[in-house]
């Protein structure tokens, strides 16, 4: 299973834990100076996120409880792919409707983000959803999500004040302003 990566060589990868949203591995790496090191690696199926834009330019955000932080967060709608073969746009469309109760007649790719490059391969593909059509939420049985619309100025203020800390949300809002508006 040896794999050369520039000056680094992975000589072993052991599955430590198979979890619901990722698999955890312990990698044995030969460093450029010849020493051996153990790296933790989380393998993730990938995820998709959406910036849902209403006709008046406001953006729909979701407020939900996050167990890892022991509190509620304000985020753009997002969720994991069902498999590594699921198209990111399909996942984005599904998560948009599940979490917000809206479908999009115009879903376009904005940017991809890597959430934790030091220990995970997780990729989140970010899309902009326009021409929204109201349907209804289809939440997972463990989800309780509130949806509210915000202007870009309100979101910038929430980011600046620290009220929004989620990295995918911050990077997506910034990329939206730079690349889409």
Number of C-beta neighbours around residue 181 at 10 A: 9
Q: What is d(CA 18, CA 121) in angstroms, rounded to the nearest whole number? A: 15
* Catalytic positions: 141
Q: Taking a C-beta distance cutoff of 8 angstroms, is the pair 93, 70 a contact?
A: no
Sequence-ordered list of residues with C-beta below 8 angstroms from that of 21, at least 6 positions apart, any chain: 44, 45, 80
The Cα–Cα gap between 93 and 34 comes to 47
**Region class of 95: left (phi > 0), else alpha (psi between -120 and 50), else beta:** alpha
């Amino acid at each position: 299973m040896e794999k050369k990566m520039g000056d680094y060589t992975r000589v072993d990868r052991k599955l430590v834990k198979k979890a619901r949203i990722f698999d955890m591995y312990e990698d044995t790496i030969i460093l450029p100076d010849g020493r051996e090191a153990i790296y933790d690696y989380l393998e993730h199926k990938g995820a998709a996120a959406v910036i849902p834009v209403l006709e008046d330019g406001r953006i729909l955000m979701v407020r939900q409880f996050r167990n890892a932080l022991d509190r509620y967060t304000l985020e753009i709608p997002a969720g994991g792919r069902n498999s590594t073969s699921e198209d990111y746009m399909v996942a984005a469309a599904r998560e948009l409707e599940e979490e917000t109760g809206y479908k999009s007649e115009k879903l376009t790719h904005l940017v991809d983000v890597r959430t934790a490059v030091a220990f995970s391969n997780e990729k989140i593909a970010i899309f902009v959803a326009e021409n929204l059509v109201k349907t209804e939420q289809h939440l997972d049985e463990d989800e309780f999500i509130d949806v509210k619309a915000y202007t870009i100025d309100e979101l910038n203020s929430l980011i600046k004040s620290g009220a929004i800390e989620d990295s995918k949300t911050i990077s997506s809002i910034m990329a939206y302003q730079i690349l889409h508006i």
